[in-house]
Chains A and B, each alone.
Chain A
């Protein structure tokens, strides 16, 4: 089995680095982190590295997570790819709103760096079962 390809979008460089480091701890996860949704769309459109799962920050300048999700759904490379949101707005109604947009899961910030990769693998397994 090849590693799970995770495309991660977050505008906060520190969080991006920490999350990337966390995911690199897991040999079964291969993560690419980008700072804006436009870059993620570029990667998917190029189609030479298609993600198995997309992890999106919600609050981002220029294009926020929900808009990015919509755009990604229009691309053949990510039309059906499971999307997970990561948000610092932890209230339950906020989570429900995000799930209604079509995300398979919502991870709240701060996340646990030692288990995030495992969490993502479990979410992917459940979403594609």
Chain B
């Protein structure tokens, strides 16, 4: 409700004064009326006197009298009409005054500027907001034309005043964007809407005004930036820049993309982006993998062949960015692709060159090293001492040259990013032990290894051995005679730290900054003495860096040096024993696909072993109970996957082994055969959906563990044991225990999935077992109490049901046991998927 306001005096004065229709004041009417009446009375008096009677005939006098009376009556009537008219006018003006006052009160409370105009365009009223917007005091505005505030004609010549104020415009409430002009002369953007005033005399129109200069400025800025961006994106002709939606559908396409691929925007927008990839990549699910990675990590980079419209291929480097809304919803991906065929070609040339040089150097070295090795080994007969020494020098330097070539190849591979790391979960201590054991002759230097703490890391076994071997052999080289090299392992927070400590001369201060640079050795004479290549530490550091770790050192000149390798510990707390992890065998001939599968499975804390053929899979599965599940490709080099599954199902050891088929022909393999007989957990097509793969693996492991849940039944009544065993058979493997001692003996060996407990036993109460159970497993082993005693009051977290023998049928017991097992399954799954 608009609050009534008092009319300001200057405004009250501006309201038109009460006027007659002739523009004369009121007293004129009163005077006129008075004059008429006095005139009439005077004429009547004159006519009735004798003076006039002598001058005129009686008839004439009567006529004149009548005429005078008529004139008086007419004049009186006219005066009365005029007076009435004036009174109406007066009332109308008063009404308008009230109306305007009301309007003003509501106008002034309005936030938006409003101007009340007459149909002619004359301003009658402006509210406070309008006043402050235009900067004119409003009493100055009254009576002026609207065009002094709003550029009606200047902005739109086709929109003259009368059109703006046309009835159609008013009726439709059209919003116009126009220019306003402030008192300062400044032009600014406004939006106007007109409304006919229903109240009053219908001649007035309210003009609603909105200042849109900010919005206009923002729009202009946006348009300008959009245009700049469009020009930029389109101007980029050597990069393909395009967007794809979450499902992989192309949503826009720049000139570079068109130039690179040969497809125009019209041909591509609305199509899946996989069409730019090769059939091989699509079959392996590589494009989808990049999307998955970008979705999960925000971006993904890849290199590979792309296919042009004409079918030709080019080698491309792509970066995919996930584009998300403020609330995290995935809107799609921005993809930048560059044709790097030329770079690839140059790299290939370099690779070929390196490979050729390597080969050409090795060929003569093979003869030299072989001959020297034979001579030094005495194959050419006993050598004279002088000759033996010379042969020894030649042989040692030949070995050094070979190491140098190997190291240079390694450096080249690492620096070009081509060194492939086969990452797996490793015990760092084991790697250290193996490295030291594999060390050759290290003279009279003693190597002490103390690596008691088990620290699992993720790494490439061979490369880590290379690092440790390098550090230890360095330490040995710089050790004094009969010196000691200590190799130790410790756990520092989340880091596994290997330390190799020597008692050598230490690293001089001036050399410390150069220790990880190529061919850096403290003293050039060292090169000869120590037989190093000057590349070992560079390679070691690169390898450690690639493992997400750190290689560093501490040195005390004159006392020795310690080199440290820090690597992040993998899940050490949750899975202390690597050997105990469920093993999954992956049978897949394509090494890259196998690595991807392994990665997905390992992410769930499972161990993976990869084999590339049916023959190897058969050998691996011959080891009893080695694997919990098998992932099988159908198209293997040495046989048909389906036949292999049939073969496995015939053997007792593998007849219930959970098998997941992962193949480009999974569905085809399934068609036309009775797939139920093969009892396959899931048939996964390539490209692989990782979520589905994870679910299938969970399901497979669940089958293993849920296949025969182990139920420990502690009960001293032999007959009841036998009876329950016959009823509970379908639920799982029943292990009877007739005493506490027997139950404890079993618990020492195995963890049951469920325990049925009798309370009153010969050697104590069954409840005494509860602490043993909680000690035995981290997750609560569910317990069902089945006893003659009514122990329903027993409220312990692991007790899932309390059943009294006299009140419970064996069938009810079986049902409860089954339900309890079913309910604890998710727990078991979680236990696997740590």
Which residues of A does B touch, CB under 8 Å? 12, 14-15, 17-19, 21-22, 25, 59, 88-93, 96, 100, 109-114
Please, could you name 16 A-B residue pairs with CB atoms under 8 Å apart, sorted by A? A14-B364, A14-B367, A15-B366, A18-B371, A21-B370, A25-B379, A88-B358, A88-B359, A88-B362, A89-B358, A91-B409, A109-B362, A109-B365, A110-B366, A110-B402, A113-B371
Interface residue from A18, A59, A114 paired with B359 (Cβ < 8 Å): A59
The residue of chain B having its C-beta at the shortest distance from the C-beta of A92 within the complex is B420
Which are the 4 A-B pairs with shortest beta-carbon distances? Answer: A18-B370, A88-B362, A14-B367, A110-B369
> In whole angstroms, what is the CA distance A19 to B402 when docked?
18
Indicate if B363 sits at the interface (CB-CB under 8 A).
yes
A interface footprint on B347-369 (CB within 8 Å = 1, 0 otherwise): 00000000100110011111111
Chain B residues, Cβ within 8 Å of A100: 612
Are B406 and A90 in contact, CB atoms less than 8 angstroms apart?
yes
Chain B residues, Cβ within 8 Å of A91: 355, 409, 413
Indicate if B548 sits at the interface (CB-CB under 8 A).
no
Chain B residues, Cβ within 8 Å of A17: 367
A interface footprint on B363-402 (CB within 8 Å = 1, 0 otherwise): 1111111110110010100000000000000000000001
Chain A proximity of B354: nearest CB distance (Å) = 10
Interface residue from A59, A93, A109 paired with B366 (Cβ < 8 Å): A109
> In whole angstroms, what is the CA distance A8 to B366 when docked?
15
Are A113 and B370 in contact, CB atoms less than 8 angstroms apart?
yes
Which residues of B does A touch, CB under 8 Å? 355, 358-359, 362-371, 373-374, 377, 379, 402, 406, 409, 413, 420, 591, 612
> In whole angstroms, what is the CA distance A19 to B784 when docked?
74
> In whole angstroms, what is the CA distance A25 to B355 when docked?
32
Task: Given contact pairs A18-B367, A110-B365, enumerate 11 new A-B contacts (beta carbons under 8 Å).
Answer: A12-B363, A18-B366, A21-B374, A25-B374, A90-B358, A90-B362, A109-B363, A109-B365, A109-B366, A111-B366, A113-B374
Interface residue from B362, B368, B370, B402 paired with A22 (Cβ < 8 Å): B370
> In whole angstroms, what is the CA distance A90 to B374 when docked?
22
Interface residue from B364, B373, B591 paired with A113 (Cβ < 8 Å): B373
Chain B proximity of A101: nearest CB distance (Å) = 11
Are B379 and A110 in contact, CB atoms less than 8 angstroms apart?
no
Chain A residues, Cβ within 8 Å of B355: 89, 91
> In whole angstroms, what is the CA distance A112 to B402 when docked?
12
Chain B proximity of A35: nearest CB distance (Å) = 14
> In whole angstroms, what is the CA distance A129 to B694 when docked?
38
Chain B residues, Cβ within 8 Å of A89: 355, 358-359
Chain A proximity of B409: nearest CB distance (Å) = 7
The residue of chain A having its C-beta at the shortest distance from the C-beta of B380 within the complex is A21
Are A22 and B374 in contact, CB atoms less than 8 angstroms apart?
yes
Chain B residues, Cβ within 8 Å of A14: 364, 367, 371
Chain B residues, Cβ within 8 Å of A59: 359
> In whole angstroms, what is the CA distance A61 to B291 when docked?
46
> In whole angstroms, what is the CA distance A93 to B418 when docked?
10
The residue of chain B having its C-beta at the shortest distance from the C-beta of A88 within the complex is B362
Are B363 and A15 in contact, CB atoms less than 8 angstroms apart?
yes
Q: Is the interface of B mostly helix, strand, loop or mixed?
A: helix
> In whole angstroms, what is the CA distance A18 to B402 when docked?
17
> In whole angstroms, what is the CA distance A96 to B589 when docked?
12
A88-B358, A90-B358 in contact; A114/B366 too (CB < 8 A)? no
Chain A proximity of B399: nearest CB distance (Å) = 9
Are A18 and B374 in contact, CB atoms less than 8 angstroms apart?
yes
> In whole angstroms, what is the CA distance A73 to B359 when docked?
27
Chain A residues, Cβ within 8 Å of B365: 109-110
A15-B363, A18-B371, A22-B370 in contact; A113/B409 too (CB < 8 A)? no
> In whole angstroms, what is the CA distance A16 to B830 when docked?
60
Are B370 and A90 in contact, CB atoms less than 8 angstroms apart?
no
Are A110 and B420 in contact, CB atoms less than 8 angstroms apart?
no
Interface residue from A88, A110, A114 paired with B374 (Cβ < 8 Å): A114
Chain B residues, Cβ within 8 Å of A92: 420
> In whole angstroms, what is the CA distance A25 to B402 when docked?
24
Chain B residues, Cβ within 8 Å of A88: 358-359, 362-363, 366
Are B379 and A12 in contact, CB atoms less than 8 angstroms apart?
no
Are A12 and B409 in contact, CB atoms less than 8 angstroms apart?
no
> In whole angstroms, what is the CA distance A96 to B367 when docked?
25
Chain A residues, Cβ within 8 Å of B612: 100
Are A19 and B359 in contact, CB atoms less than 8 angstroms apart?
no
The residue of chain A having its C-beta at the shortest distance from the C-beta of B379 within the complex is A25
Interface residue from A15, A93, A96 paired with B370 (Cβ < 8 Å): A15
Chain B residues, Cβ within 8 Å of A112: 373
> In whole angstroms, what is the CA distance A106 to B634 when docked?
29
Chain A residues, Cβ within 8 Å of B373: 22, 112-114
The residue of chain A having its C-beta at the shortest distance from the C-beta of B613 within the complex is A100
Chain A proximity of B808: nearest CB distance (Å) = 60
> In whole angstroms, what is the CA distance A59 to B406 when docked?
19
Interface residue from B368, B402, B409, B420 paired with A93 (Cβ < 8 Å): B420
Chain A proximity of B410: nearest CB distance (Å) = 10
Chain A proximity of B347: nearest CB distance (Å) = 15
> In whole angstroms, what is the CA distance A120 to B258 when docked?
58
> In whole angstroms, what is the CA distance A111 to B413 when docked?
22
Chain B residues, Cβ within 8 Å of A110: 362, 365-366, 368-370, 402
The residue of chain A having its C-beta at the shortest distance from the C-beta of B402 within the complex is A110
Chain A residues, Cβ within 8 Å of B371: 14, 18, 113
Chain A residues, Cβ within 8 Å of B379: 21-22, 25, 113-114
Chain B proximity of A55: nearest CB distance (Å) = 13
The residue of chain A having its C-beta at the shortest distance from the C-beta of B406 within the complex is A90
> In whole angstroms, what is the CA distance A109 to B405 when docked?
12
> In whole angstroms, what is the CA distance A37 to B362 when docked?
21
> In whole angstroms, what is the CA distance A14 to B368 when docked?
9
Chain B proximity of A126: nearest CB distance (Å) = 13
Are A15 and B420 in contact, CB atoms less than 8 angstroms apart?
no
Chain B proximity of A69: nearest CB distance (Å) = 15
The residue of chain B having its C-beta at the shortest distance from the C-beta of A19 within the complex is B370
> In whole angstroms, what is the CA distance A17 to B370 when docked?
10
Are A113 and B359 in contact, CB atoms less than 8 angstroms apart?
no
> In whole angstroms, what is the CA distance A55 to B430 when docked?
34
Chain B proximity of A31: nearest CB distance (Å) = 14
**Best-buried of B359, B370, B374, B409 by chain A (most CB within 10 Å):** B370
Chain A residues, Cβ within 8 Å of B358: 88-90
A88-B359, A88-B362, A109-B362 in contact; A114/B377 too (CB < 8 A)? yes
Chain A proximity of B313: nearest CB distance (Å) = 22
> In whole angstroms, what is the CA distance A114 to B373 when docked?
7
Chain A residues, Cβ within 8 Å of B406: 90
> In whole angstroms, what is the CA distance A22 to B409 when docked?
27
Chain B proximity of A21: nearest CB distance (Å) = 6
The residue of chain A having its C-beta at the shortest distance from the C-beta of B361 within the complex is A88
The residue of chain A having its C-beta at the shortest distance from the C-beta of B367 within the complex is A14
Chain B residues, Cβ within 8 Å of A113: 369-371, 373-374, 377, 379
> In whole angstroms, what is the CA distance A111 to B402 when docked?
11
